Structure 1
Amino acid sequence: MRKPVVSFSGGTLKMLAIITMLIDHCGASIVGPLRHKLPDGSQLGDFCQIIYPHMRNIGRLAFPIFCFLLVEGFLHTRNVKKYAFRMFLFALISELPFDYAFSNQLIRNAHQNVYFTLLIGLLVMMGMSVFEYRQSITRFGNYFNLLMQIAIAAGGLWLAAFLHTDYNYKGIFLIIVLYSLRLDRKLQAIFGAITISWEAVAPLAFIPIWFYNGERGRQLKYFFYWFYPVHLLILGFLRHVILPCVLHLN
């Protein structure tokens, strides 16, 4: 069989998600506030007004890719408990940088970072898989296993909504859809795109996902984990320290 002309490894998809996320966060943390602080009619102000929505739209590609890679990571990890612990640890590490980058408060309980969303999605998959592969010789037992999977999924949706995690319960629902359709890439792409279609540009993320070749590719594991809190900390510093100084000098 001929190899496809275009294919992406997991490492390539992860880098694509990181780049689009960075563009989005630069827009939300720097360009967004800047466009409100610059005087009307200034060239830089007009430029910020134009570029801001495009930066946010580009960023919509990141989350579906991260969700897809989370499902792949769950299916192929050697130790899912360590995987979940790392996710929990970096969710805690990232919370203060997340609040610092996107608000005027150092601690803001109204919105939690995306690591919490991915962690809840991972826990949901762990719970569903227990009952998914549990064998039963009775019809009642099969119904019970199905009901337990539904209950675990519903619990994950509720928890994300309760904690106000990034992408909320909608993010968990996307993870559940991608996990449930993991055996058919075409259905994954179609229904994943439908699930995230409430964000206009986000379904386009399933184009590179469609070309995923099943290979891990280059894995800079701890770079990917640390990039999220570190870049948020830098953006927060730029927003709250550097940007006011520049505006004051002008």
Structure 2
Amino acid sequence: MTNSNPTTTPWGISGSTLKIIALVTMLTDHIGAAIIEPVLIQKAERMHIQWGSYSDLILIDKTLGTAYIAMRYIGRIAFPIFCFLLVEGFLHTRNVRRYAFRLFLFALISEIPFDLAFHHQLFCMDYQNVFFTLFIGLLVITALQAVMIHMTEHISFRILFCLISIFSGMYFASLLNTDYGAMGVLTILLIYIFRNNRLHAAAAACLCLIAMNTIEATSLLCIPLITHYNGKRGLQLKYVFYAFYPVHLLILYCIYQLLF
């Protein structure tokens, strides 16, 4: 596969800029899900309306319903960018084990804030936060790289172990019911496979997500952002990203408590 992207360019979007865009769109999505959706549900109960589609939300409250729909669609941009940054981090990290440990640690740290924000309880095993998806995806591409490096003379075994790694990762993401689940892991895998062509990587990731749910159609807006990535790190925001996730979820839960 030929590399259609230079490692670095003097223009374009840095990694930190991509990260900020992903954080802002994720925050927008989570405000809609954690704050506005409960308000709409409460209004629907008062009006004795059962809503099953976005069009029903307009009947409940035109302004809030429209804002909620817009926020959820904007939020679809975030996940493929996070997946792209994960693969970039994997390709350039000096210590994959430390990278994986960091993801797993913050998956554990973020679980209570995640459950509080979206389930309003300390522990909920029904649905796990996105850090678990990213962690599993990282394990899968790490395994694939190891197989490709160390099993060069055994093509049949290489294919077998690659398939085992991929389906194991997707299975565990589905079993744990992580955010984006098996398709989230597959999204990370596709970006890794097409890592030498950012356009193909971003398009494949978006198509995978759209196949999961048509609401993910707005994830296509991430394609020009990813293709204009200049290969530079930009601002040092590594720990800001990790801390932002659990902190903003706790803040959203506090706002929810004040409102309700």
- Scaled by the length of structure 1, the TM-score of the pair is 0.89
Alignment partners' CA distance in 2, 1:168 and 1:192: 14
In structure 2, the CA distance between the partners of 1:136 and 1:64, relative to structure 1 (3 Å rule), is closer
Letter in structure 2 aligned against 1:81:
R
Structure 1 residue 103, shift from structure 2 partner: 1.3
Structural mapping, 1:234-249, within 5 Å: 234-239=251-256, 241-244=257-260
Structure 1 residue 127, shift from structure 2 partner: 0.8
Structure 1 residue 131, shift from structure 2 partner: 0.5
What is the aligned partner in structure 2 of residue 31 from structure 1?
36
Structural mapping, 1:139-178, within 5 Å: 141-178=154-191
1:232 aligns with 2:249: yes
Structure 1 residue 223, shift from structure 2 partner: 1.1
Structural mapping, 1:98-177, within 5 Å: 98-137=114-153, 141-177=154-190
Letter in structure 1 aligned against 2:36:
V
What is the aligned partner in structure 1 of residue 239 from structure 2?
222
Structure 1 residue 63, shift from structure 2 partner: 0.3
Alignment partners' CA distance in 1, 2:111 and 2:135: 13
Alignment partners' CA distance in 2, 1:69 and 1:215: 12
1:213 aligns with 2:211: no
Structure 1 residue 4, shift from structure 2 partner: 7.7
C-alpha root-mean-square deviation of aligned residues, in Å?
2.0
Structure 1 residue 45, shift from structure 2 partner: 4.2
Alignment partners' CA distance in 1, 2:119 and 2:39: 13
What is the aligned partner in structure 2 of residue 16 from structure 1?
21
Contact 2:77/2:220 (8 A) holds in 1: yes
| Ranges of 4+ aligned residues in structure 1 off by more than 6 Å | 3-6
Q: 1:58 aligns with which of 53, 59, 74?
A: 74
Letter in structure 2 aligned against 1:125:
I
What is the aligned partner in structure 1 of residue 109 from structure 2?
93
Where do 5+ consecutive residues of structure 1 fail to align? 245-250
Structure 1 residue 200, shift from structure 2 partner: 1.8
Contact 2:32/2:71 (8 A) holds in 1: yes
Alignment partners' CA distance in 2, 1:57 and 1:195: 16
Alignment partners' CA distance in 1, 2:221 and 2:259: 33
Q: Percent identity?
A: 46
Structure 1 residue 202, shift from structure 2 partner: 1.3
Moved more, 54-63 or 194-203: 194-203
Where do 5+ consecutive residues of structure 2 fail to align? 1-5, 48-59
Contact 2:206/2:217 (8 A) holds in 1: no
Structure 1 residue 135, shift from structure 2 partner: 4.8
- 1:39-70 deviation digits (Å, cap 9, x = unpaired): 66xxx943211210000000000000000000
Alignment partners' CA distance in 2, 1:95 and 1:106: 9
Structure 1 residue 190, shift from structure 2 partner: 2.7
What is the aligned partner in structure 2 of residue 200 from structure 1?
217
Letter in structure 1 aligned against 2:42:
K
What is the aligned partner in structure 1 of residue 86 from structure 2?
70
- 1:113-167 deviation digits (Å, cap 9, x = unpaired): 0000000001111111101122534xxx122112211110110000000000000
- Scaled by the length of structure 2, the TM-score of the pair is 0.86
Task: Give the paired residue count.
Answer: 236
